[in-house]
Structure 1
Amino acid sequence: MSSNNLYGRIPMEIGTLKKLEKLSLNKNNYSGEIPSSIWNISSLSILSMGYNYLEGKIPEEIGKLKSLSGFAIGANKLSGELPSSLYNLSSLAIFFAAENQFHGSLPSDMFSNLISLQEIGIGGNQISGPIPTSISNASSLQLFDIGYCSFVGKVSNLGNLKDLYWLNLNYNHLGSNSALDLDFITSLVNCTELESLVLSSNNFGGVLPNSIGNLSAQLTEISLDFNQIHGTIPETICNNTNLIDLDLEYNHFTGFIPNSFGKFQKMQLLGLSANNLMGEIPISLGNLTQLVEISISKNMFYGKIPPSIGNWQNLLYLDFSGNNFSGAIPVEVFSLSSLSTNLNLSHNSLNGTLPVEVGALGNLGTLDISNNSLSGQIPMTIGKCTRMEYLDLHGNSFSGMIPSSIASLKGLSHLDLSRNNLSGSIPTDMQRLSFLTYLNVSFNMLEGKVPLEGVFKDATAISIVGNNKLCGGVLQLHLAPCPANVMARSNHHNLKLGIIVICVVVCLILLSIVVFLSKKKKRTSSLTASTNQLSMVSYQILHHSTQGFSTSNLIGSGSFGSVYKGFLESEHKFVAIKVINLQMSGAHKSFIAECNALKFIRHRNLVKILTCCSSIDYSGQEFKALVFEYMPNGSLEKWLHPSAEITDRLYTLDLTQRLNIVVDVASALHYLHYGCEQPVVHCDLKPENVLLDDDMVAHVTDFGLARLLSVTNGDPHNQSSTTVFKGTIGYAPPEYGMSCEVSMQGDVYSFGILVLEMVTGRRPMEEMFKDDNNLHNYVKMAYSHNLLEIMDSTLLPKQTGKEEKYTKKLTMCVFSLIRIGLACSVESPNERMNMADVTRELNLTKDVFLQD
């Protein structure tokens, strides 16, 4: 009765079918415990109940089923230890119990009586301890899958398992980062049927033995990624000419790619990223004509990209980023019309132009060639890449105009052309890109009118700083109005000069007025609302909207005030009202700092300020408040650490949501540090100051401690202060405790701690973190070999066969997040990543994780 919609409990009456031999209830919605009457059906040979919602333990009574040859209970909610009587079923040939909640360890003599066992799959449980040494007795074993558990210790000799075709040990704690960890590979030479060898995400160290090349002729998969393996890649590995998948990523391999890799003519997936490999790419790699995905990023490869890669006509994904490739991009790259997922050549030393042949990549979704030395014009043929969603060309030396053909990329959502030498105007037709949510053209030489529609309507979605001749646009951009001659595209130079002079005079007059008013109102912010904002509100309106600042509307409180939920009837909308506690020392300064910080910043991931109030309350006391957009889903703190009274399981965040939130926060900090005319340091980044809207998009808030950095010759400098910097313990960087200088690196530290907190679910100020045992060191110690034990247990799903690739990608994402979090939170400010690199790394991680 498999694959139906049956639900409820399995009836106890099933036990009256005394002659029943086979029972299959797979893939239904059964719940409750397995009825105890089943264990009395002595004639049962097949019992299959996988993919349901069954709970409870497997009792010792299972030992009564002396004829049982197939027992499949995977993907349920079963728990407890596996009963010892199970190991006495000499007739048992197939046992699948993956993705449950079983715990305990396996007895060392487990396989002594299971003489008929052919397939065992118990991955995705909490089973720990060593692999039973008696496995060498299981001479009939064909499939052994214990992935996603907590097994430890050394893997013993497996040479007696001559029929073994599938060996999966991934995501455990096997090995001890020692020289002898991989000795068992030599014993696998006797396993002449072996097809798949999966050892990913363990703690295997040492070098990869030459015997890796003497394995079965049937071998199609070797996965060794996320271990501690060092040394060179042995030439002998190329004897496995039937390999389809070879994954050596995130190890410590050194040396060159063997030229004999050209023998892998059936290879489809090749992963060598994040090692210490070097040298040039061998021309022989062009022989891998079946390649679908190749990633060699984050190594030390150099030289030119060989034209022979033009033979990869089945390629969907190519990532050569983070190396030192030089020379021009070979035109053969653009003959790979199959490329649809990703083409990433960023962070190299490539030069020359972007060839017109780029237009041949009509199916490509992501093109990233940022941070190279490319020059010349962006070819008009870029408009033929009609399925492009992500285009990043920043950090090069492209010149000329932005090609109008970019408006043909109807699905484009992310476009970064910043830090080039582009000139001319922004093409008006780019207003029609309805899916575009991020546009960065900052630090070019653009001029003329900024369009008003599409993405240009949202000042938080675009960055145009560093283009001093742009004008117009929405009011939130604070650009000068376009002179009539610009809008009419007139060439009358004298008229243009006259208008510019008039504008300068008007600006000087306005500046004088602002200076005068700011001196007159020493404690009052000069925050000015745009036409899209509310006009300044009175105390009476705010008092009414919050029902007299009722505690029932209180949604948060901090050092300098309380935040209330209010409803503005005139606007028919809910708002968040931050009332400043002026009795607190430094409250006035905090109010002014927040106003100054928010005056000109607009970004999709910053909480939008609507207006402010500076008035007198009903008791005659001074009253100051800021009014923000209301965030219905509250703070990130509430989602990471829900209070005891919140039992709703909706208050949990899966990895996709956490990744999106991390990217949102990084984007906000990147904007504050590099996208503002005067860089802003937030100084108090923590989960309480990250709010979530209806769509779970993150918005950074609370700029009460923010600082504006001085800029000299385009370089932001630390700002000193004679006042004591407070911040928040656990999130504030260590250098703030020794001096009063704030810096962008301080924000980076806080961001790194926030990332580690989101992955581990632990606050940085917990009791266990004392002295040097802080959150950074706690995660660092577990990063390479004990990661699963410190992760938030809600993050990783348990493995099923069909989801193995997805789950592997998911875990790679977690490793990447932790690597970034650790790199941001190192003690020395000069060794921390900057937010530009952080944002790039996170977007790459997000693209890879969400691409399927």
Structure 2
Amino acid sequence: MNLCSHNLPSSWFIYLHLLLILFTFKSTWFGRNTIASASGNETDQLALLKFKELIFIDPYGILDSWNSSTNFCNWGGVTCNPMHERIIQLNLQGYQLHGTISPLVANLSFLRVLDLGNNNFYGTIPQEFGRLLQLQGADLSNNTLHGEFPINMTSCFQLQELNLYGNNLIGKIPVQIGYLRKLQVLSVGRNNLTGQIPASIGNLSSLTHLFMGENNLEGEIPQEIGLLRNLTYLQVGENKLSGMLPSILFNMSSLITIAATLNQFNGSLPSNMFHNLPNLQAFGVGGNQISGPIPISITNASVLQLLDIGFNYFVGQVPNLGRLLDIEFIDLENNRLGSNSTNDFDFLEPLTNCSNLYLFSISYNNFGGYLPNFIGNLSTQLSQLYLGFNQISGQIPTELANLSNLTILSMGYNHFDGIIPTAFGKFREMQVLGLDGNMLSGVIPTSIGNLSKLFSLNLSQNMLEGNIPPSIGNCQKLQSIYLAQNKLTGPIPLEVFSLSSLTEFLDLSQNLFSGSLPDEIGRLKNIEKLDVSNNHLSGNIPGTIGECMSLEYLYLQGNSFNGVIPSSLSSLKGLQYLDLSRNQLSGSIPEGMQGIIILEYLNISFNKLDGEVPTEGVFQNSSWFFITGNSKLCGGISNLHLPPCPVNGRKLAKHHHFRKLTAVVVSVVALLLILSFSLIIYWMRKSKKRQSFDSRTINQLVKVSYQNLHNGTDGFSDRNLIGSGNFGFVYKGTLESEDKIVAIKVLNLQKKGAHESFIAECDALRNMRHRNLVKILTCCSSTDYKGQAFKALVFEYMTNGSLERWLHPEIENAQQSRTLNTAQRLSIITDVASAIHYLHYECEQPVIHCDLKPSNILLDDCLVAHVSDFGISKLLSSIGVSPKKTSTAGIKGTIGYAPPEYGISYEVSIEGDMYSFGILILEMLTGRRPTDEMFKDGQTLHNYVRISIPNHLSQIVDQTILSGKLEQVADNESMIFTDPNVKECLLSLFSIALACSVESPKQRMSMFVVIKELNLIRSSFFLV
């Protein structure tokens, strides 16, 4: 029988669906309701006790009151109907409960509100929840629940809010969702849902908020969505949706927000679409494939505040936006707008009426002609202006300097000529200035020194002349300077090398600089990339360059440097790329350069070097280093085909010399045998003791052989080296027993304390299980092929590396740089807090980590944080009892992260970890290491933040946060974002960090309070 052919009303389908549910649960539902009617109070109490049984971690003790000594209506999180004493609300939001959800919750037949959000529930959502027929609100957001959408919950016809945001749900959104006619809020975002948006969504006539973003939904938005006449918020961004945005969508006058970014939508937008959207405040379709002109009707969108159509294929001229008096955010970048003509900027003058505008981007388009002078009449609130990668020509208008609150000005890769206006010195709030890739001439104005807040300056690829003005030394926050490919002359001023803030890139290449590199170059201790190649520099390469301990890329080629290669380069253990070619260097290659383990490119071609070429490190692979043009080099690996080096010393001419030498050799050999025998006995005894200790320590870990690790890393090849630490090296590899990539930590047993570190890490990790701790898979305690002791630990491999790499990225080019937005940083902080809470309070034997820092926080492919490196951790028999001395004595953490009390006392503490956690948050939010050069003479990262908030928040926050499309500094004192909660989120996180990192251990915030505060921040920050 085909029910559809009879055109039955939809109420019949609901009735039939209800009958099906009744039949399915007839033996349990009716039976339980019978009990409830007789003794409903007891049923409710029993259901709660069963719920409690499945909770194995309750950090806040919210369930402590759930016992028979008090009435269940007075239990924590429970609200009863006072008349019948039946439970109507169960609210356990944000208590970090760990466990599964009992299906017996379905016996709370009077339940109206179920809020279990922001916990750590796992498992599936019980299908029995479909029996909660009076349920009006269900919030299970921000847990780790898996399985498919709970289809039986579509029988809860009274539901007004269903929030499943931020879990691991899979499968499709069921068509039965259409039965929830009273539903007002549906949030299923940030899951792994697939399939199409069901057309039955159109039956939800009461729906006001629909959140489906951050899934893997496909297909088109169904036309039936137009039936949702009360819909105000539509979020379907970050999916795989395709086709055209349904035209019916643009007739929904109730809509306030349309968020459809990062999908595969195509086609064009109807020219009249904004005529019927009088309440629209945010329209975001960036990152799709939409083409055609910008609808001319946008001039009627009088209350629009956010317009994001970037990264599409829009063409033509930009309409008049001058009537959008409330507009704050306009992103038109990466389209095909403009026609490279003089009238491309006709839309700009009306835009001067928009006094709230704080971000405006038209970069990566086809705008041409001159930039009109009235651009200086745009909103004084304007903070970010992006004009780069267009065809704009002429001189830079001096009037731009009227926009005194600009923090970011990007004008690169146009055809600007003339000089850099001296009036740019008025940009007292400027943080990023990009004028690269133009035809600017003249000198760099001395007024550049007025930009005291500047952290990135890019003037490369122009025709600038003269010297670098010494006033640049006033820009004490500069992190990167790009002046490459100009005609700059003279010596490099010492003021450049006084900028200890330089941490990213100093690029002075392809200019006409002369003179020598001064010893002051050693002041750039935190610089990662230094390029002075292809200039006229001469003299010796200063040995102080070895003090630039953070250097990863060093380019000195194409100059006239002479003398020897300084041996101090060998101390740059993080060096990956070194080019000394085309100079006049002499002498031999320093042997210590073999010890730069991660060096993967070395070019010393076309110099005057002599002597033997080393054979270890980078010199093992001829594709990694280049020595052409040094005719006096010898030796090296065989495929270099260099002549052998001459043997030193004279041949013995007389036979009695030979006999004399033989006697000496025999005596020495005899002595060595005696010493060796004694040492063997000593080490056998010591080894026996150590092995017994090892066996007690790692007997719970399945061991793997040295051969397996050797094969899985190509003989511990440098190609697989991914990091190094205090006690060894970490390799990327595979195991025969693991069908996946792993991380292998090999201990350097020659280093004092390495063996103890191995034991400490085994002790700490063997019994720990937590989603935010690095998982140990196996270990190896054996000997290598040379008969030497070998110890290694094998962990899960983390695709996204360490947090250190994300906070302080190596920027090979701008498009590949990695950044973390505010939401991601908040999630990582929460992950780390959860791990530390587990270590301190939930382990069978409490653990103090002792070395919490960004390099010990690893990120998986979903950017979930995992705390690692327990090499110096301490085990406590219980909280408040002195730690066991299982790790190396005297090692108490890393400078800057270790609390001040560790400097005067050996005893470590939970409060010490809290201090490190606070410093970690401060570094994540400011982008500054606690060892930054600016923190001297009593200044610390803690004090730097404490005196800066809240009034100077925008000046201390990591600028990669502020440069995001949805976030913006609005004025001198405050921050305004498209989501206003972001500023409050940052302030709250700073407050937590400061409370954790105060000097007095007793006054530091506990992790209990931290987690509660973080949950409050998450619930208010994330749009759900």
Structure 1 residue 189: Cα displacement: 1.8
CA–CA distance in structure 2, aligned partners of residues 512 and 244 of structure 1: 59
Going from structure 1 to structure 2, the CA distance change for 1:129 and 1:315 (only over 3 Å counts) comes to same
Residue in structure 1 matching 2:308, options 223, 238, 241: 223
Structure 1 contact 473–479 (Cα < 8 Å) conserved: no
Distance 1:306 1:556, change over 3 A: same
Q: CA deviation at 1:264?
A: 2.8
| 1:172 and 2:263 correspond | yes
Per-residue deviation, residues 291-331 of structure 1 (Å, max 9, x unmatched): 11111111111111111111222222111111111111112
Shift in Å, 1:460:
6.8
CA–CA distance in 2 between the matches of 1:141 and 1:577?
Answer: 55
* Structure-to-structure mapping, 1:47-126, within 5 angstroms: 47-111=138-202, 113-126=203-216
SS in 1 for 2:313: coil
Deviation larger for 458-467 or 387-396: 458-467
Deviation at 1:409, TM superposition (A): 0.8
Q: 1:462 to 1:128 in 2, by over 3 A?
A: closer
1:361-407 Cα deviation digits (max 9, x unpaired): 11111111011000111111111110111011111111112111123
Compute the RMSD of aligned alpha carbons.
Answer: 4.1
Partner of 1:360: 450
Task: Give the Cα separation in 2 of the matches to 1:189 and 1:357.
Answer: 48
Tell me which of 450, 465, 468 is aligned to 2:560. 468
Equivalent of 1:192 in 264, 278, 282: 278
Q: CA deviation at 1:655?
A: 12
Aligned CA distance change for structure 1 residues 517 and 97 (closer, same or farther; 3 Å): closer
In structure 1, what is the Cα distance between the partners aligned to 2:812 and 2:246? 46
Higher relative contact order (CA 8 A, sep 6+): 1
Aligned with 1:102: secondary structure? Answer: coil
Distance in 1 (CA, whole Å) between partners of 2:131 and 2:436 is 65
Do residues 564 (structure 1) and 715 (structure 2) align? yes
The CA deviation at 1:14 is 2.0
CA 808–99 in structure 1, closer or farther in 2 if over 3 Å, else same: farther
Find out whether 1:652 has 2:739 as its counterpart: no
Bigger drift between 285-294 and 100-109 goes to 100-109
Aligned to 2:406: 315
- SS in structure 1 of the partner of residue 322 of structure 2: helix
Partner of 1:296: 387
C-alpha contact 1:9 1:31 (8 A) present in aligned 2: yes
Alpha-carbon distance between aligned partners in 1 of 2:719 and 2:121, rounded to the nearest angstrom: 49
Post-superposition shift, 1:439? 1.6
Measure, in 1, the Cα distance between the counterparts of 2:634 and 2:186: 80
Max Rg structure: 2
**Partner residue, 1:271:** 361
Distance 1:142 1:649, change over 3 A: farther
Match in the other structure for 1:525: 642
8 Å contact 1:633–1:694 — kept in the other structure?
A: no
Percent identity between the aligned chains? 25
Q: Label 1:140 to 1:401 Cα distance change in 2 as closer, same or farther (>3 A).
A: same
Matched-pair contact (CA < 8 Å) for 2:389–2:414: yes
Asked if the contact 2:528/2:810 (under 8 Å) is kept, the reply is no
User: 1:375–1:60: structure 2 CA closer, same or farther, 3 Å change rule?
Assistant: same
Unpaired runs of at least 5, structure 2: 1-91, 570-579, 588-606, 614-627, 647-705, 743-776, 778-794, 815-854, 859-960, 968-1024
Residues 662-721 of structure 1: CA deviation (Å, up to 9, x unaligned): 968889xxxxxxxxxxxxxxxxxxxxxxxxx9999xxxxxxxxxxxxxxxxxxxxxxxxx
CA displacement at 1:463 relative to structure 2: 2.2
The answer to whether 1:249 aligns with 2:333 is: yes
Deviations 1:113-161 (A, max 9, x none): 2111111111111222221112222111111111112222222233442
TM-score, scaled relative to structure 1: 0.60
Q: Which residue of 1 aligns with 2:434?
A: 344
Distance of 1:63 and 1:379 partners within structure 2? 70
Question: Would you say the 8 A contact 1:30–1:54 is kept in 2?
Answer: yes
- Equivalent in the alignment of 1:772: none
In 2, Cα distance between equivalents of 1:467 and 1:631? 36
Whether 1:182 and 2:266 are equivalent positions in the alignment is no
Deviation, structure 1 residue 31? 1.0
Which residue identity does 1:195 align to in structure 2?
Q
User: Which amino acid counterpart does residue 306 of structure 2 have in structure 1?
Assistant: E
**CA-CA distance at 1:59 after TM superposition:** 3.4
Aligned-residue offset at 1:100: 0.9
Distance 1:71 1:513 in 2: 73
Between 220-229 and 467-476, the greater mean CA deviation after superposition: 467-476
Residues 481-528 of structure 1 show CA distances to partners (whole Å, capped at 9, x for unaligned) of 79xxxxxxxxxxxxxxxxxxxxx99999x9999669799x99743699
**The residue matched to 1:382 in structure 2 has which SS?**
helix
Q: Distance in 2 between matches of 1:516 and 1:81?
A: 67
Equivalence for 1:38: 129
**Cα distance in structure 2, aligned partners of 1:153 and 1:381:** 55
Change in CA separation of 1:380 and 1:107 when aligned onto 2, cut-off 3 Å: same
Deviation of 1:274 (Å): 1.0
Taking the aligned partners of 2:225 and 2:639, their CA distance within structure 1 comes to 80
Report the CA distance between 1:253 and its aligned residue: 0.9
What residue number does 1:208 align with?
294
* Alpha-carbon contact 2:273-2:295 (below 8 Å) kept: no
**1:402–1:422 contact (8 Å) kept in structure 2:** yes
Quote the Cα distance in structure 1 between the aligned partners of 2:407 and 2:730: 40
CA distance in 1, matches of 2:609, 2:461: 40
Residues 524 and 548 of structure 2 are in contact (CA less than 8 Å); yes or no, is this contact kept in structure 1?
no
CA distance in 1, matches of 2:224, 2:333: 32
| More displaced stretch, 322-331 vs 657-666 | 657-666
C-alpha deviation, 1:456, in angstroms: 6.4
Aligned-partner Cα distance in 2 for 1:42–1:324? 67
TM-score of the pair, normalised by structure 2: 0.50
Instruction: Tell me the distance in 2 between the aligned counterparts of 1:20 and 1:121.
Output: 25
> What is the one-letter code of the residue matched to 2:300?
N
Determine if contact 2:433/2:458 at 8 Å carries over to the other structure: yes
SS in 2 for 1:151: strand
* Secondary structure of 1:103 counterpart: coil
**Equivalent position of 1:426 in the other structure:** 517
- Asked if 1 retains the 8 angstrom alpha-carbon contact of 2:391 and 2:414, the reply is yes
C-alpha contact 2:418 2:439 (8 A) present in aligned 1: yes
Unaligned runs of 5+ in 1: 483-503, 530-549, 558-562, 566-574, 579-604, 609-629, 668-692, 697-802, 810-852
Task: Write the distance in 1 (CA, Å) between the matches of 2:585 and 2:470.
Answer: 30
Contact 2:381–2:405 at 8 Å: present in 1 too?
yes
- Superposed counterparts of 1:133-172, under 5 Å: 133-157=223-247, 158-172=249-263
CA distance in 2, matches of 1:512, 1:97: 64
Q: Do the aligned partners of 1:238 and 1:263 also contact (CA within 8 Å) in 2?
A: yes
The residue type paired with residue 257 of structure 1 is F
Q: Which amino acid aligns with 1:76?
A: N
Letter in 1 for 2:538: E
**How many residues were matched structurally?**
563
Using a 3 Å threshold, how does the CA distance of structure 1 residues 471 and 81 change in structure 2: closer, same or farther?
same
Offset at residue 17 of structure 1 (A): 2.1
